[in-house]
Amino acid sequence: MRGTFVVFEGGDGVGKSTQAGLLAAWLAARGREVVRTFEPGDGEVNARIRAILLSPATAGLGPKAEALLFAADRAQHVHELIRPALDRGAVVVCDRYVDSTLAYQGAGRVLDAASVAQINAWATGGLVPDLTVLLDLDPVAALASARRAGEHDRIEAAGTEFHARVRQGFLGLAAAAPERYLVLPAREPVAALHEAIRSRVATLLDERADAPGRLIP
Ligand code: TYD
């Protein structure tokens, strides 16, 4: 039996971690095994890759090396944590995944989308989320709130045009496969967003439990 893979995506400072945490707590209270994780950097090897990716000291990192390091982080993450958890039947709730690389490195840095997608398909063995929650927000507002929170890494510092391309990148991915996405305006109150996410995830879990050939937990 395979578990369920839910990913949160969106720009910096849109409230992904808050919503991922609320969803994980709700699932755990319903008795599900939940693995709450994030990219980049969850794991021993991953933390080292994250340091290279986000430190202002690596300002010289080129766009292709950046994309490959995000893919390396992801390959290790899938291998070490995500696949084993899904094989056990857990619900994996992950902050960022392949779409972040397609949006930030593909649309943002303007790398060829097909190449970035191909590298990531190889890195993940083709593992695609069952549901991606996209928290959409005007990047100017989002970055202002991220800065207030004291975060300002190498990628956040990339400028408003870059972040506008990232936002359009995410929206384009969601529009291309609407059945696998829940797109929400991140400005909505935290409780309202949580309710919308919870309701969609509950439907997803019911559908998956009913799917022919699946073992019901
Ligand atoms: P994240 O850890 O979500 O940010 P924070 O901890 O500051 O909230 O992500 C760090 C940065 O890396 C963020 O600016 C988005 C960027 N990023 C990419 O550019 N590509 C990727 O594939 C991923 C996963 C993140």
Q: What share of the chain is helix, strand, coil (3-state, %, to 5)?
A: 60, 15, 25
33: DSSP letter: -
Evaluate whether residue 157 is within a structural domain. yes
Residue 54 counted as domain residue? yes
**Structural domain for 187, as ranges:** 4-208
pLDDT at 150: 64
The model's pLDDT over 142-188, given as tens digits with 9 standing for 90+, comes to: 877 766 666 667 888 788 899 999 999 999 999 999 999 999 999 99
The Cβ of residue 115 has, within 10 Å, a number of other Cβ atoms equal to 12
Determine the atom of ligand 1 nearest the C-alpha atom of 71.
Answer: 22
User: pTM of the entire structure?
Assistant: 0.94
Q: Is residue 135 part of a domain?
A: yes
Query: Does the residue 217 lie in any domain?
Result: no
Residue 151 Cβ inside 6 Å of ligand 1? The answer reads yes
Q: Label residue 189 left, alpha or beta by phi (over 0 means left) and psi (-120 to 50 means alpha).
A: beta
Q: Rounded distance, CA 206 to CA 193, Å?
A: 20
CA torsion angle 124 108 182 35 (round to 10): 40
Instruction: Give the model's pLDDT for residue 190.
Output: 98
Average pLDDT value over all residues in the chain: 93
Of the CA atoms within 13 Å of residue 133, those in its CB half-sphere come to: 29
Residue 59 domain-assigned (yes or no):
yes
Predicted confidence (pLDDT) at residue 109 exceeds the cutoff of 50:
yes
| Structural contact between residues 19 and 190, judged by C-beta atoms closer than 8 angstroms | yes
Check whether 120 has a pLDDT greater than 90: yes
Number of domains comprising the chain: 1
| Ligand 1 within 6 A of CB of 101 | yes
CATH of the domain at 39: 3.40.50.300
Query: Which pLDDT does position 212 carry in this prediction?
Result: 65
Our mutation pick for probing the ligand 1 site, out of 42, 53, 82, 96, counting the most ligand atoms within 8 A of Cβ, is 96
Q: Is the pLDDT of residue 199 over 80?
A: yes
Tens of pLDDT, residues 36-78: 999 999 999 999 999 999 988 888 999 999 999 999 999 999 9
pLDDT band for position 217 (cuts 50, 70, 90):
very low
Cα 52 to Cα 15: distance, rounded to the nearest angstrom: 24
Q: Determine, yes or no, domain membership for 45.
A: yes
User: C-alpha 124: how far from its chain's center?
Assistant: 13
Among 68-82, 94-108, 129-143, 182-196, where is mean pLDDT lowest? 129-143
- Helix (H/G/I), strand (E/B), else coil: 31: coil
What is the distance in A from the centroid of ligand 1 to the CA of 168? 16
Is 215 among the domain residues?
Answer: no
Is the residue at 214 inside a domain?
no
Distance CA 74, CA 82 (A): 10
